[in-house]
Chains A and B, each alone.
Chain A
Amino acid sequence: MKLAVKYFGMIAEAIGKQEEQLEITGNSVLEVDVFLKNKYAKLEFLNYKFAVNQVLVDGIKRLKENDEIALLPPFAGG
């Protein structure tokens, strides 16, 4: 399925981009994580959480076509 993937902070820096459209097999966040770690080996060494459509989710969250999924490194606001 097609997803809009967004990267922030040290994740964006490590993989060299802030967003992209990806065609991904599988329909859970966990499967997207595996897909992305295969594509970007550096992710293996980074700490991040996922948000789907701007809400934090866990790995079993099911995805729909055209969902926006974001990789969020540790927060540093305030």
Chain B
Amino acid sequence: MENKLPKEDIQFIDTYLSNSDIHYEDIRIEMIDHVASDIEHKMNEGDSRGFYEIFKEYMIENKSSLEKQGKPFQWKVFKSTLKKFAANLVSFKVILGGILLFLALRFLDTMIYPFDDFTAMIIPMLMLFAITSVPIIRLRGKKYSFIGNFAIFQCVYFNLCVQLTLITDFNSTFFYAILFIWAFFSAASFKTMLDLSSYYNKNLQTI
């Protein structure tokens, strides 16, 4: 009969990897299976030592290689999330959402409260917070690689928009052009986070 690790051993590997800075859930799921498969393989080959002894040996040999997976910024994840974002920029829902958001901001500016330095800074910050909250809420607070990596891109363009608006006349065409791009990017970011969190929610349920 083949050896299979019980739930407690899997949980032990999970906790160990999490404490070894492999924080992203999607990366850790694959690493847990890799480590567990190797230990089971050794047990099935006749290794009579207990789980902890084999695990300890595995970590001495492979810890540095495993830790490479725990890097907070991963270029490949960043690139693939950015590709999804670019594809979303030309989707009908995003175009519609971008236009509606732009019109809502213009309505706010002309009818309710004219833009000033404070609103030009606080509105993008609230929007950034809302976009980042989508996957965190939908994935029940678990960290996934796409969230952390895409947040870097979002911070850069939000910061750029804020800096540009602060040096621009609030009634100029240039200001409305920035506002339009920003609304459009926000709608695409929102959809990207929705799509990715749905994908991970569907595919990566917890053990």
Q: Do A and B bind each other?
A: no
